[in-house]
Amino acid sequence: MMIFFKEDDLSLIKCHSVMQSFENHDGVLLKAYIIGDFFYLVTRPSIRNLPKEHEPIFFNSQDVSKEHSSSILNNACGVPNIENLGIDRALIRRVIDALRTRLRLELMGVDFVIPSNAERKQHLAVVDVNVFPDYSCVPNFHFHLENLVRGMLDLSKPPLPAPVFDAGV
């Protein structure tokens, strides 16, 4: 991937490309894992805020936005817990519901950023939608997937299973 800050830098592009604007977003990526009506949120590192006069940046997105990424493009202080971001979950719900309806998808991942200059609770930008992402971080994924299938087949849904603790045996 590349980030350009000046129009003159566009001459560096040598192949067909997709362009998207870059918003400073305090180096935090918010990921939503959607399974029907249920969604699970996590934070991931992203590109730190950069000045408008910055030189072009060339990078592999896998190096900056995975759970344990440690890149010179990330914030040195790390990523805050989701509870400390003051996120408006109702706003996220509305965006997810609109995407589910418009895209006709029940299983997807959505990447959001919260622009730095925005009041945190009121602005989101959708930067990526992934069809059937890796759900390994979602607690009780199989339960939620089963409920989605049961709901689509008009079958009753079982209660959420109790957590299982390792007794150290």
Q: Domain extents for the chain?
A: 2-13+23-135
* pLDDT (0 to 100) of residue 118: 58
- For residue 153, the Cα-to-chain-centroid distance in whole angstroms is 29
- 3-state class of 62 per DSSP? helix
Residue 42 tokens read as 């996590």
Backbone angles phi, psi at 58, to 5 degrees: -120, 130
List the one residue out of 158, 149, 165 whose CA is nearest residue 37: 149
What residues in the chain have per-residue pLDDT under 50? 169
* pLDDT (0 to 100) of residue 94: 95
CATH T-level assignment (fold) for domain 2-13+23-135: D-amino Acid Aminotransferase; Chain A, domain 1 (3.30.470)
* pLDDT (0 to 100) of residue 68: 73
Sign of CA dihedral 84, 90, 94, 97: positive
* pLDDT (0 to 100) of residue 54: 87
* pLDDT (0 to 100) of residue 4: 85
